[in-house]
Amino acid sequence: MKLSAQEEYGLRCLLRLASAGEGQSLTIPEIGRAEALSIAYVAKLMRILRQGKFVKSVRGQTGGYTLARNPENIPIGEVLAALGGRLFEPGFCDQFSGLKRLCTHSVDCSIRSLWRAVQSAVDSVLGGITLRDLLQKESTMKMQLASRDRY
């Protein structure tokens, strides 16, 4: 399993907006400079984030992008799903049926059970972390995640 560049950089762009402060807008070139990304790539990411209703665009001379919701109302799991999809989507098995129309394991599949369990664990972690949580220092975030593991 790998996170894609789109998921990583999209999350970083969203975090950049959150760290700018409530109501503050940033332009695509500003985000690109701050994150060392091309303007075209930032534009693509911001379009995805806008379609996912995480950011809104403001037109005009003082325009740019702002968060569409408060950072505490933006679960990281939702952001990553919008940027790249989930690890195990309901139609996953349909894509890997081999040479047949239906997978030979479609009735009794231990692998499918594994992917569902992994997806559930990922959802549990990412659903409990918000954009606001990511505004913390790394050491604080590490402690927060470690304390979750104890329960």
pLDDT at residue number 150: 54
The stretch 75-87 carries a mean pLDDT of 89
Checking if the pLDDT of 58 tops 90, the result is no
* DSSP-derived secondary structure for 47-113: HHHHHTTSEEEE-STT-EEEESS-GGG-BHHHHHHHHH--SS-TTHHHHT-TTSSS-TTSSS-HHHH
Mean of per-residue pLDDT scores for the chain:
86
Backbone angles phi, psi at 58, to 5 degrees: -120, 125
pLDDT of the residue at 104 = 57
Mean pLDDT of 25-37: 96
- Give the fold, CATH level 3, of 5-149: Arc Repressor Mutant, subunit A (1.10.10)
78 vs 109, higher pLDDT:
78
> What is the band of 96 on the pLDDT scale with cuts at 50, 70, 90?
low
What's the rounded Cα separation, in Å, for the pair 42 and 107?
A: 43
Q: What is the mean pLDDT of residues 4-17?
A: 95
Domain parsing of the chain, residue ranges: 5-149
Residue 97 has pLDDT above 60, yes or no: no
Nearest-CA neighbor of 44 among 10, 20, 18, 85?
10
Task: Please give the pLDDT value at position 31.
Answer: 97
| pLDDT given at position 1 | 57
* Pairwise CA distance, residues 79 & 81, whole Å: 5
Question: How many Å apart are CA 27 and CA 55, to the nearest integer?
Answer: 12
